[in-house]
Structure 1
Amino acid sequence: MTPPQNPVSAPEHPTPAIEARALNLTLGGKKLLDDFSLNIASGELTALLGPNGAGKSSLLKVLCGEAEGGGTIRFFGKERKDYPPATLAKHLGILPQHSNLAFAFTAREVVELGSLPLQLTRKDTQALATEKMTQVDVLELQDRLYPSLSGGEKQRVHLARVLTQLSHAGDQCILMLDEPTSALDLSHQHQTLQVARTLANAGAAVIVVIHDLNLAAQYADRLVIVNHGKVQADGPPWQALTPDTIQRVYGWPVHVSKHPTQDFPVVLPAA
């Protein structure tokens, strides 16, 4: 007779950094999020992909509270609405697609704005801003007036500002980047995503809205492909980036092959 076996305990699942349930958003008669649900884990870089108007940026706006889309949003197991704004600002950083700042601040002054939730001394603020500007390669711009910068330079200055803001987040850190590489040259595209990758490796939950499928495949742990306000594919790059999925979502035939020296998929147009 076979002795009874001890039941196997179910594996523990840590609380997601972000838990979104049943999000809905309609603007101008168009449904941008349709009963949308998603969990994001700490230590994970998630890329949001999809055609223009698919709902990617709208999702970030709803998650951070810029737009109200119904449903439930929790950060680290606690409803977003229950966080005091000053507390949430230390743990949630957002780099928007466009930053409307017309004041004649220097680039350094813009970066130092990120320290406002941290209540640091002037000396510590300056040191922290120098560290983050160096990290994203904008220290040489520190005395330039912000309005005089190029689009890509402005993106990198704001990234340094957000990194400054999150520098005291500890083990509860969420970074949302909305098309952070859209105005950047080749080297700064990779540098920006390397910064995001480093933060995820250190335990942050990182969400990047991006259009370049190959950059997403190279740097992200997980690809969430969105269209018509719904998830069309969700998984590691090799699982999510299939020719059938890409043609169905983007309406264009592609070939998917292995990068010649690294283990991530490369997407090339087939027509």
Structure 2
Amino acid sequence: MVDAHISDQWQSTHHDSVAISAKGLNLSLGGKVLLDDFNLEIRHGEVTALLGPNGAGKSTLLKVLCGELDAGGDIRIHNKNQAKWPAKALARYLAVLPQHSSLSFAFTAQEVVELGALPLDLPRADATATAAEMMEKTDVTTLADRLYPSLSGGEKQRVHFARILTQLSEANENAILMLDEPTSALDLAHQHKTLQLAQNMAKAGAAVIVVLHDLNLAAQYANRLIIVNNGKIQADGDAWHALEPSNIERVYGWPVTMTEHPVHKHPVIL
């Protein structure tokens, strides 16, 4: 059931591919300019990778786009002013996986994942079934009865990924998925599985925004790569364009070489 605050007209006329539109964002923290008259559109059907040096403002930008931080400017989500979205209604369409999730209660992994169903008003049996499906996708089914505080960092990250997938389980092509360094604590296989899941959601119509430090993972899984630094976009395009060695050296201050992956044909940064 769609939230009463979201009109039938919005449901029937939402055909615009733009999920989030941000114009004229300005934000400084601790004397450092993180967003300087920043403009950005995030589209459905794409994985957009946010790249840049440490402290460039990538995570801050996600917090601004989802409403956790205020910044001067205009942000529209599904063509509706961000501030006019009721929190519960927006939670059905937009979910965020932060870098770190502070949860110290002795919940089981299954219970943590089921928290994602709270905005959906699902019957308990349906919430449990949906959570189980998402736990299988993120490879945490065997952790269901484990207490969350006892899990490793990577296991916690995958449990929270299952939670936000549960949260978006009814959003379909209107989903907006924000992932802040989702691979930071994961082993090699789970890094790729996580980004494959995000890629598959985008193919189904979702708008996916992912903060990454690994340029090669971004090149393999993102349709669009945006490099940010000094409050502005430094490069924006596909992997071959955005990761051009002169861009990387200018932004990161380190020389690199670009070659082609022998199998998948995406660029590889050496």
TM-score range, shorter chain: over 0.9
- The answer to whether the aligner puts 1:171 opposite 2:173 as a matched pair is yes
The offset of 1:200, in angstroms, is 0.2
Number of the residue aligned with 1:115: 117
Q: Secondary structure of 2:213's partner?
A: coil
Number of the residue aligned with 1:8: none
The offset of 1:78, in angstroms, is 0.8
RMSD: 0.9
* Alignment partners' CA distance in 2, 1:170 and 1:160: 16
Give yes or no for contact 2:216–2:269 (8 Å, CA) kept in 1.
yes
The one-letter amino acid of 1:202's match is A
The offset of 1:202, in angstroms, is 0.3
Number of the residue aligned with 2:45: 43
TM-score when normalising by structure 1: 0.93
Query: Following superposition of structure 1 onto structure 2, how do residues 122-201 of structure 1 map, counting pairs within 5 Å?
Result: 122-201=124-203
The offset of 1:211, in angstroms, is 0.2
Where does structure 1 differ by over 3 angstroms across 4 or more consecutive aligned residues? none
Give yes or no for contact 1:15–1:77 (8 Å, CA) kept in 2.
no
* Alignment partners' CA distance in 2, 1:49 and 1:171: 25
Query: Following superposition of structure 1 onto structure 2, how do residues 30-69 of structure 1 map, counting pairs within 5 Å?
Result: 30-69=32-71
State percent identity of aligned pairs. 66
Query: Following superposition of structure 1 onto structure 2, how do residues 15-30 of structure 1 map, counting pairs within 5 Å?
Result: 15-30=17-32
Number of the residue aligned with 1:238: 240
Q: Secondary structure of 1:171's partner?
A: helix
Query: What does the per-residue CA deviation read over 1:100-137, in whole Å, with 9 as the maximum and x for residues that have no partner?
Result: 11111010000000000001111101100100000000
* Alignment partners' CA distance in 1, 2:146 and 2:206: 31
The one-letter amino acid of 1:194's match is Q
* Alignment partners' CA distance in 1, 2:160 and 2:101: 8
Query: What does the per-residue CA deviation read over 1:58-81, in whole Å, with 9 as the maximum and x for residues that have no partner?
Result: 000001111101111101111111
Give yes or no for contact 1:90–1:117 (8 Å, CA) kept in 2.
yes
The aligned length equals 256
The offset of 1:15, in angstroms, is 4.7
The one-letter amino acid of 1:129's match is A
Give yes or no for contact 1:23–1:70 (8 Å, CA) kept in 2.
yes
The offset of 1:145, in angstroms, is 0.6
* Alignment partners' CA distance in 2, 1:14 and 1:224: 21
The offset of 1:160, in angstroms, is 0.2
The offset of 1:82, in angstroms, is 1.1
* Alignment partners' CA distance in 2, 1:25 and 1:102: 32
Task: Select between 176-185 and 76-85 the one with higher mean Cα deviation.
Answer: 76-85
Computing the radius of gyration over CA atoms, which structure comes out larger, 1 or 2?
A: 1
* Alignment partners' CA distance in 1, 2:215 and 2:40: 20
The one-letter amino acid of 2:221's match is Y
* Alignment partners' CA distance in 1, 2:222 and 2:167: 23
Query: Following superposition of structure 1 onto structure 2, how do residues 196-207 of structure 1 map, counting pairs within 5 Å?
Result: 196-207=198-209
Number of the residue aligned with 1:215: 217
The offset of 1:170, in angstroms, is 2.9
Structure 1: runs of 5 or more not aligned: 1-12
Number of the residue aligned with 2:230: 228
Q: Do the aligned partners of residues 203 and 15 (structure 1) sit closer, same or farther apart at CA in structure 2, a change above 3 Å counting?
A: closer
Structure 2: runs of 5 or more not aligned: 1-14
* Alignment partners' CA distance in 1, 2:53 and 2:142: 36
Give yes or no for contact 2:181–2:213 (8 Å, CA) kept in 1.
yes
* Alignment partners' CA distance in 2, 1:87 and 1:223: 29
Give yes or no for contact 2:172–2:204 (8 Å, CA) kept in 1.
no
Query: What does the per-residue CA deviation read over 1:154-206, in whole Å, with 9 as the maximum and x for residues that have no partner?
Result: 00000000000000113311000000000000000000000000000000000
Q: Secondary structure of 1:254's partner?
A: coil
Number of the residue aligned with 1:3: none
The offset of 1:14, in angstroms, is 3.4
